[in-house]
Amino acid sequence: MLDLHAVLDGQRLALTRLLTQIENQTEAGQHALAELFPHTGRAHLIGVTGAPGTGKSSLVNQLALGYRKTEAPKKVAILAVDPSSPFTGGAVLGDRIRMAALSGDAGVFIRSMATRGSLGGLAHATAGMVQAFDAAGYEIILIETVGAGQSEVDIARLAHTTLVVEAPGLGDDIQAIKAGILEIADILVVNKADRPGVETTERALRSMLQLAHPVAHVFRHHGQALDVQATAPESEALWLPPIQRTVAADGQGVPELLAYIAAHRVHLEASGDLARRERARLAAELDQRLQDALVEHWRAGAQAGELEQALDALLARQLSPQEAVQRLLNGRKG
């Protein structure tokens, strides 16, 4: 049913169908991902996160244009995630509105995605869809998420380079701090730099950054930073999140932003962080899958009513949860 040769061959119909199977977490989708795994691990994953209205979609549009309009254009995939309504499960996904300039370019693939019900499921599905793009030969994968909750932070962790977008005029607070996502930023973007209040926003970000990265503070403000680095090699691995102003409406600041993204990639490779992150990510996936498989294995061998009986015993305070687990597991070993 899923034609993986066609996916590897870059055929869009095959890819779009595969993305649906992965998003719906079907067995066919899981099998496909297993088959495609050897073809993954090549793309640069770039997360773009921030509060609604900061200009993420407009910025993603500009970044994609930047990757396309060079001498050696890169294939770009965009995964734009927006929230589902918690009441109806439906969603209106409007990120494409800002990306009309990319239409008609066969080297760009834009997919919108709703967060749907389960939080863990979202991060799972996103990771799978990114792998599908990677296998299909997309070299740059831009993942837009609303920086709001833990699941978005999980998605951002998937990325090699995370941009946190802020904009003036969204109230006095720095939204990224409120949402607890400043910490995950590799690059900070102050978008809407054409609007009043940019200086204030940037200044607030800079002081927050210095709190979050005390070492960066020292380095930036003392002349001997270079000497310190020379005697302490591990400090070379330190990346200080830069702040870049942009106007996503017309592309100002985007070339500089692209240069920072490229520099971050170089840093990741040179410092060994890329390999470390990849290892940690795969370790987490392996751990999760192992847990799922073990639980499933246990359930498959469980006797009817075994769990219910244990539960009854817990309710009656005849067993502690700790003892119940012991008993459920030991009953199996013999």
Partner 1 sequence: MAEQKIRVIVAKPGLDGHDRGAKVVARALRDAGMEVIYTGLRQTPEMIAEAALQEDAHAVGLSILSGAHMELAPRILELLKANGQENVKVFIGGIIPDEDVPRLLELGVAGVYGPGTPTDQIVKEMRAAVAGAQG
Ligand X SMILES: Nc1nc2c(ncn2[C@@H]2O[C@H](COP(=O)(O)OP(=O)(O)O)[C@@H](O)[C@H]2O)c(=O)[nH]1
Q: Which of 52, 94, 120, 321 binds partner 1 (CB under 8 A)?
A: 94
Alpha-carbon distances, residue 224 vs 221, 230, 295 (angstroms): 9, 10, 55
Q: Spell out a b/e string for 19-47, using b for 16 or more CB atoms within 10 Å of the CB, else e.
A: bebbbeeeeebeebbeebeebeeebbbbb
Question: What is the three-class DSSP state of 79?
Answer: strand
Q: Which amino acid is at 3?
A: D
Say whether residue 189 binds ligand X (CB under 6 A).
Answer: no
Contact positions with Mg ion (CB under 5 A) in 34-63: 56-57
- Closest contact distance (angstroms) between CB of 49 and Mg ion is 10
Say whether residue 247 binds ligand X (CB under 6 A).
Answer: yes
The piece of 46-54, 214-222, 259-267, 313-321 that touches ligand X (CB under 6 A) is: 46-54
Q: Six-digit token pair at 334?
A: 């013999």
| Contact status, residue 168 vs residue 245, Cβ threshold 8 Å | no
Q: Which of 34, 71, 86, 88 binds partner 1 (CB under 8 A)?
A: 88
CB-hemisphere CA count at 13 Å for 229? 14
Say whether residue 230 binds partner 1 (CB under 8 A).
Answer: no
Contact positions with ligand X (CB under 6 A) in 10-39: none
- Nearer to Mg ion (CB atom), residue 57 or residue 115: 57
Say whether residue 145 binds Mg ion (CB under 5 A).
Answer: no
φ, ψ of residue 94 to 5 degrees: the values are: -115, 15
- Nearer to partner 1 (CB atom), residue 93 or residue 216: 93
What lies within 8 Å, CB to CB, of 73 at 6+ separation is 67, 107
Q: Which of 131, 161, 191, 244 binds ligand X (CB under 6 A)?
A: 191
| Contact status, residue 84 vs residue 90, Cβ threshold 8 Å | yes
- Nearer to partner 1 (CB atom), residue 30 or residue 200: 30
Say whether residue 27 binds partner 1 (CB under 8 A).
Answer: yes
List residues binding Mg ion (CB under 5 A): 56-57, 95
List residues binding ligand X (CB under 6 A): 52-58, 95, 98, 191-192, 194-195, 247-249
